[in-house]
Structure 1
Amino acid sequence: MAAYDPHEGFVAPARPASALIQTAAGFLAIEFLFGLGRSGLVWIAAGISPGFAQVLVARATGAAILIDLFSFALLAALVIWVARRNHDRGARSLIGPSALARQDFPRALGGALLILLAIELVLFAPAESGADMQSLPGWLLLLPVSAAALLVQTGAEELFYRGYLQQQLAARFSQRWIWLVVPNLIFASVHWYADQGHAASVRYVVWAFFFGLAASDLVARSGSLGAAVGFHMANNIFAFLVVGEAGAPDSGLALFLLPPRVVPGEGAAAPAEPILGLAIGVDLFLVLLLWLAVRVAIRR
């Protein structure tokens, strides 16, 4: 069996309504309505309190992060709605065989978490790094809610990028590179954060593209979204819940907080920060390790 044979079954439900104009209209509707919904959430928050709206936009507290993550339920609902109205197919067709997805999700999640845990144990020593540990009982008490919020966020993104977009493009185009590259260029583009600085944003976008490419490959090899959601969620568990940077966005749920990074020579005379270097190489190597770990875990 060829590596991507399971992808044919995954894509099959999208073939009857795979006209490019249908997919483009569906994509634009999802993007527009999700953006409108997120803006509406900020507008409601501003009506409650301008300060609360600022905290929500900055994702500066644990509560703000949870609200932001749970808001991705709207994205999932919109994808399902567009698939039904625009392509006459239901949510299950976006996920793949439910038994397979249920089997691959915990395997992928566990395999990726084991690799991340091993790396953290080897490279990260809280005392030596100067990290502050948050209240462990409080962190554990909130953990089920935090994990549920991450499942909503990662599941919604996989449903949209590797479910809807990947399926629709694969149903329309026989060229493999189109359904591997195009959804992940879009996925990468939403990871541009101008307030992080140009170099940091470029590195984040490059990382997101290759991360998405790995997720697309896992979907194609397995025939469902289960492995990709587990892969994505494991990464986000460590990014949101384990180690963060004090005062940085998305760090409010982390168990360990590192001291804020100091950029040397800030100002007009500051040296240019390299866009591509050792840091992005290490990040991409980690993506490779996680991808390999998930493949072993799901035996594909």
Structure 2
Amino acid sequence: MSRFSSIEQLSAACNDLPERDEQASMAAAARQDTLTKPQGSLGRLEELAIFLAGWQGRAVPRLDQVAVIVFAGSHGVTARGVSAFPAEVTAQMVANFAAGGAAINQLARAAGAELTVVPLEIERPTADFTAAPAMTEDEFLAAVSTGYDAVSPKTDLLCLGEMGIGNTTAAAALAAALFGGKGADWVGRGTGVDDAGLSRKAAAVDAATAFHGAALSDPLAALARVGGRELAAIFGAVLAARCYRIPVLLDGFVCTAAAAPLARLRPTGLAHALAAHMSAEAGHRELLARLGLKPLLDFNMRLGEASGACLAVNLMRSALACHAGMASFAEAGVSEK
């Protein structure tokens, strides 16, 4: 049975979100000002430590339990020639994850993170959203619930990612639904489509927004109608993390688009999330700007799989190492200014 049995129940959960622990944030900021460095000299590393403290509710946060969850789904829109790779690659890559052969396996290991891969009915693609809703209400709620339930309340930091041939087209359609614009404004080359493939992607997005029309004005309906199961699951995981006050690292374009409905439902809905990196996918920069998210890294990556999110874990660990391990001026016997 799904955790969410109706859109109304899900919508209510999205509008009843806890905020960060301001006392913990202030205590962390105060600690930063006592450490043996000029105030603010570690720049965003200081901000990251305070961010972690606020959401974990601890003046000195920890990163003992770092989770990486990759959700996988299949898309009916691939029949419209929107990907350079065939649809069966989704299942093949899920098997590669299980065998430890993908980039995310290596990056998770290097970051000291635990990787979980969650396939969502990858043998059964969503409907082609240019001519029908991608998911029924029940399918959508089941996928959101799966994502929510994949998150452990004991997690210190959550990295989210995806795998799904065709899902950059779904992400572009969702971005267009949430923020307006034409398909050409949001689509990119994804898996490496040529110019003709890029045109097909833009046409698919335009066909979808025309077909669904005013129904896309509701962010949850937009996610159900033009998203995919893995996008819905990411949304559920982001919601769960907020309810548990777990800080989140979002991966690239698809992951950010999947989380965006929460910000459209509530302006501070993604306050617990950071953009791990700036994807090379065309629409990601604009999407981050619309959400007010400043990426931590810009490595020209466009793989997905939570690869950029996982890479940023090491930045978080560096921020925490300085925050927790540096001596204060008093402890070190160093004169303050």
Shared fold per TM-score greater than 0.5: no
Q: TM-score, normalised by structure 2?
A: 0.25
Q: Which has the larger strand fraction? A: 2
Higher relative contact order at CA 8 Å, sep ≥6: structure 1 or structure 2? 1
Q: Higher helix fraction: Structure 1 or Structure 2? A: 1
Please report the TM-score for the alignment, with normalisation by the length of structure 1: 0.28
